[in-house]
Amino acid sequence: MVKNSFISVISQEKEKNCGSVEFQVFSFTNKIRKLTSHLELHKRDFLSQKGLRKILGRRQRLLDYLSKKNRVRYKKLIGQLGIRESKTR
């Protein structure tokens, strides 16, 4: 339900551009939440842990890209998804 509402908001702005950074970050966030809940039950599932780290890295790179290109869209996205702002290196 949350995915459909977010997709409708993005589709209104981007005219169904599913390759947008916002949509990709949103889909990675959903995958991260699912894997996190899975790993709470299965603590020794090391392949899922590896997959989670890969997805976290991809999402972090996309968020870094977005923060460099358009700070307003970045702030809006992390506010909607409830993601903490990344630390500067």
Q: What is the pLDDT of residues 43-65, one digit of tens each?
A: 999 999 999 999 999 999 999 99
Q: What is the pTM of this model?
A: 0.80
Q: Tokens standing for 28?
A: 């990675």
CA 30 to chain CA mean position, Å? 7
Q: What is the pLDDT of residues 11-33, one digit of tens each?
A: 555 556 788 999 999 999 999 99
In sequence order, which ranges of 15-83 are alpha helices (DSSP H)?
21-41, 46-69, 71-81
Whether the predicted pLDDT of 71 surpasses 90: yes
> Which one, of 69, 68, 73, 71, lies nearest residue 89 by Cα?
68
Domains and CATH numbers, the chain: 15-81 (1.10.287.10)
Give the pLDDT of residue 87: 80
